[in-house]
Structure 1
Amino acid sequence: MDNRSTVFSALTVDVEDYFHVAAFERNIAAADWDKMPVRVEKNTNQLLDLFDTHQAKATFFMLGWVAERFPELVREIHRRGHEVASHGYNHAKATSQSPDDFLQDVSRAKSLLEDIAGTAVTGYRAPSFSIGKQNEWAFSALKQAGYQYSSSTYPVKHDLYGTPDWPQQPYLRSEGIWECPMPVLTMLGRQLPIAGGGYFRLLPYWLTRRLISRYVSQKDIPYMFYCHPWEIDPEQPRIADAPLKSRFRHYVNLGKMEAKIGCLLQDFNWRSVSQVYQPYFNR
């Protein structure tokens, strides 16, 4: 018997490799990425098979760097009925770029992905949720580049990102682009991050399931989950000279992640961002 909720939630994957992550940017220069053992193709295909097993559809926010080197991976994602979206080209944080550089990056990624997939790319997610009060100009750039929506903000307090006083629901910004923030659950006056990533790997699954179930039952706005292909890869090379905090965040419970995602896919119903948020986009 299928006991899953009848509500559809948005499943998202930020398609990047282990050496692209911001936590290791001081240890691995972008100029050295091509020298690193690449594992993103294998891991992403593994996620695709897992999603197929549970009849789940997702949005894959593709890094342009990955798409350029593995165009067949982009086509396979599209062929299996998932949404191809943009994660920018170089995995540079929006906060580290000038407006012109940001526009060039997101435009390049969008054009590349559309050429490979043969379909329109309407969604974007900033690396490390790096759009906030200091760079709201990024939304104008996204609109200029032709995107319809962004999923680049996380209304929590975090040492690396977060817009805790920004909206928690999808909203149409004055620049003309929809922002779909990551979900939080307010408990005891605190906004808890429940969208996936490292928190999902760290917490026991029963607790995460309970928090997501509470969100789905109490909120009239969609739930969204995110993960990365490298998170299901406990055999990935270790970056030994990275800071201890960064290594803990990156490597904690990698060996348990695939099974936990499988449980999540079984317990909830999943579709792409464009499908789940379509009622908002059509307003």
Structure 2
Amino acid sequence: MINGLTVDLEDWYHICGVEGYSDPQKWDTYENRIIRNTDKVLTLLRTYKVKATFFVLGYIAFKEPGLIKTIKSEGHEIATHGFYHKRIFEMTEREFEEDVNKSISVISSNINERVLGFRAPEWSIRKNTLWMLNALRKYGILYDSSMVPLTRMGYRDYPVYPCCYNTDYGKIWEFPLTTTRLFWERLPFTGGLPLRLCPYFYIVSEIKKINRMGFPAMVYIHPWEFDKEQPRIDLPLSRRFMHYFNISATPRKTEGLLSNFQFAPIKNILGITT
């Protein structure tokens, strides 16, 4: 079974809903660490001969076109993470379309290729924002990876494994966040804080269990999780824990997963071609 490996290409200050830091007008004043941190990720992928999907912020593609071309030249898929890293439920349909379209335009001009996939910042698709699937398909996106089948974070009835949705513009694939059942709820464990928090043996055993059932799992990482020296933002306690706890574990656990499982870009797993 081949699993999906994804990288949310965002810098250390791209945090949603944090006063000051979530204001794009201030982003140019912050230290740029995206190139050095992405190089760490690319080196690791090169070592294990693994290709991934990079969900790229349009803002980064605009500021660092050479980085996007480098990622593409190494055989990785380039998808979009929106332009300004705004959560969907904070935007109107029109604002969302403008943000997505802008990101697609900038990214596709860098790679001379169609952008096929999208991931919402902070997995922010909710039950009342499913209109975004229609908007994505309208602009040529063929798959989304934003749904979380959880009660508070996403919507409990979202799909657990890859599936298709019908829109006014044709079918669109959904590859939801990988979760495991714990009592009456589902919990994520393959990226971000859950990856850093869960014991490595548990992560491996749960991925193997999903694979035995005939489904792929999906791992996600961020370049800033490979940077212990990044500037620290004064976040509320809960957000600080979520963002920084056990950050040194990400490179180690990612390397372990790369050595134990086979991975590929999302478009390959879903069999999407253009």
Matched, 1:173 2:190: no
Q: Percent identity?
A: 35
Match of 2:177 among 182, 189, 195: 182
Match of 1:192 among 173, 187, 191: 187
Match of 1:163 among 134, 142, 155: 155
In structure 1, the residue matched to 2:236 is 243
Give the alignment of 1:40-119 within 5 angstroms: 40-119=34-113
Shift of 1:134: 1.1
Q: Structure 1 length normalisation: TM-score?
A: 0.91
Gaps of 5+ in 1: 1-6
Paired amino acid for 1:207:
Y
Shift of 1:213: 1.7
Taking the aligned partners of 2:149 and 2:29, their CA distance within structure 1 comes to 36
Q: Is the 8 A contact 1:232 1:255 kept in 2?
A: yes
- The superposition leaves residues 197-248 of structure 1 with CA deviations (integer Å, 9 ceiling, x where unpaired) of 110011221221122222222x2222111111111111100112x1011111
- The superposition leaves residues 16-69 of structure 1 with CA deviations (integer Å, 9 ceiling, x where unpaired) of 01111226x224232211111111111111101101101111000000011111
Taking the aligned partners of 2:173 and 2:268, their CA distance within structure 1 comes to 14
In structure 2, the residue matched to 1:135 is 129
Q: Structure 2 length normalisation: TM-score?
A: 0.94
Paired amino acid for 1:60:
F
Give me the CA root mean square deviation: 1.4
Match of 1:228 among 222, 236, 251: 222
**Higher mean C-alpha displacement, 142-151 vs 188-197:** 188-197
Taking the aligned partners of 1:197 and 1:38, their CA distance within structure 2 comes to 21
Q: State the secondary structure of the residue aligned to 1:154.
A: coil
Q: State the secondary structure of the residue aligned to 1:20.
A: coil
In structure 1, the residue matched to 2:31 is 37
**Higher mean C-alpha displacement, 267-276 vs 219-228:** 219-228
In structure 2, the residue matched to 1:3 is none
Q: Is the 8 A contact 1:63 1:109 kept in 2?
A: yes
Q: State the secondary structure of the residue aligned to 2:166.
A: coil
Paired amino acid for 2:240:
R
Matched, 1:257 2:267: no
Paired amino acid for 2:157:
D
Give the alignment of 1:200-211 within 5 angstroms: 200-211=195-206
Taking the aligned partners of 2:135 and 2:37, their CA distance within structure 1 comes to 31
**Higher mean C-alpha displacement, 169-178 vs 68-77:** 169-178
Taking the aligned partners of 1:190 and 1:97, their CA distance within structure 2 comes to 28
Q: Would you say how many aligned residue pairs link Structure 1 and Structure 2?
A: 269
Q: State the secondary structure of the residue aligned to 1:147.
A: coil
In structure 1, the residue matched to 2:5 is 11
Taking the aligned partners of 1:239 and 1:130, their CA distance within structure 2 comes to 22
Shift of 1:190: 2.9
Paired amino acid for 1:264:
L
Taking the aligned partners of 2:183 and 2:130, their CA distance within structure 1 comes to 30
In structure 2, the residue matched to 1:4 is none
Q: State the secondary structure of the residue aligned to 2:78.
A: strand
Taking the aligned partners of 1:211 and 1:52, their CA distance within structure 2 comes to 26
Gaps of 5+ in 2: none
Taking the aligned partners of 1:230 and 1:141, their CA distance within structure 2 comes to 30
Paired amino acid for 1:248:
F
